[in-house]
Chain A
Amino acid sequence: MRILLVEDDAEVARFVRKGLQEAGHLVEHAANGRDGLFLAASETFDLLMLDRMLPGGVDGVRLVETLRGQGNRTPVLFLSALSGVDERVKGLKAGGDDYLVKPFAFAELLARVEALGRRPAVDVPSTRLKVADLELDLLSRTVTRAGRRIEVQPREFRLLEHLMRHAGQVVTRTMLLEKVWDYHFDPQTNVIDVHVSRLRQKLDKGFDKPLIHTVRNAGYMIRAEA
Chain B
Amino acid sequence: MSVRGGAIAEGSRWLRRQGRPGVAQGDAHAADQGIGQGIGSPPLPTGTGTAPAMPLPTALRAMKPPRLMRSAGFRFALLFAALFAGSAVALAAMLWWGTAGALNRQTDAAVRADVLALTERWRETGPTGLAESIDERLAGDVENETIYLLVDPEGRKLAGNLDRWPGNLPASEQWSQREIDREGLRAEARLRVENLPGGYRLLVGRDVEERERLRELLLEALIWSAGAVLAFALLGAWLVRRALEKRLLPTYATAAAIAGGDLGSRVPLSGRGDEFDRLASTMNAMLDRIARLMDGVRGVSDAIAHDLRTPIARARGRLEEALITASHEEDLRGAVERGIADLDGVTRVFQALLRIAEAEAGSRRAAFAPVDLSPLLADAAEYYAAEAEARGQQLQTDLPPELTLDGDRDLLIQAVANLLDNAVKFTPPGGTVRLEAATGGGVLRVAVTDEGPGIAAADRLRAGERFFRADAARTTPGSGLGLSLVQAVAHLHGGTLELLDAREDGERRGLRAVLVLPRG
Residues of chain A at the chain B interface (Cβ within 8 Å)? 83-86, 101, 103, 105, 153, 155, 181, 183-189, 191, 194-195, 198, 217
Contact = CB atoms under 8 A, between A and B. Distances in A.
Contact of B386 (A84, A105, A198, A217): A198
18 contacts: A84-B354, A85-B410, A101-B351, A103-B347, A105-B340, A153-B382, A183-B383, A185-B413, A185-B417, A186-B351, A188-B421, A188-B482, A189-B424, A189-B425, A191-B383, A194-B386, A195-B383, A198-B386
A188 B478 contact: yes
Given A86-B364, A191-B386, 19 more contacts: A83-B354, A85-B358, A85-B408, A101-B351, A103-B343, A103-B347, A105-B344, A181-B379, A181-B383, A183-B383, A183-B413, A183-B414, A183-B417, A185-B414, A187-B383, A188-B482, A189-B425, A191-B384, A194-B389
A189 B354 contact: no
Interface extent on B, as a size class?
Answer: 20 to 34
A186 B355 CA distance: 11
B69 interface: no
Q: Is the interface of B mostly helix, strand, loop or mixed?
A: helix
Interface in B400-429: 408, 410-411, 413-414, 417-418, 421, 424-425
Contacts of B358: 84-85
Contacts, number: 58
A185 to B, nearest CB: 5
A181 B380 CA distance: 9
B108 interface: no
Given A84-B358, A103-B343, A186 B386 contact: no
A185 B347 contact: no
Nearest to B376: A182
Contacts of A83: 351, 354
Given A85-B410, A187-B417, A188-B482, A194 B390 contact: yes
A185 B355 CA distance: 9
A153 B478 CA distance: 30
B364 A85 contact: yes
Interface string B449-483: 00000000000000000000000000001110010
3 residue pairs, one from A and one from B, having the closest CB atoms = A194-B386, A191-B387, A185-B414
Interface in B304-358: 337, 340, 343-344, 347-348, 351, 354-355, 358
Contact of B367 (A86, A103, A186, A189): A86
A162 B353 CA distance: 31
Given A155-B382, A194-B390, A187 B421 contact: yes
Nearest to B355: A185
B354 A184 contact: no
Nearest to B485: A185
A112 B340 CA distance: 20
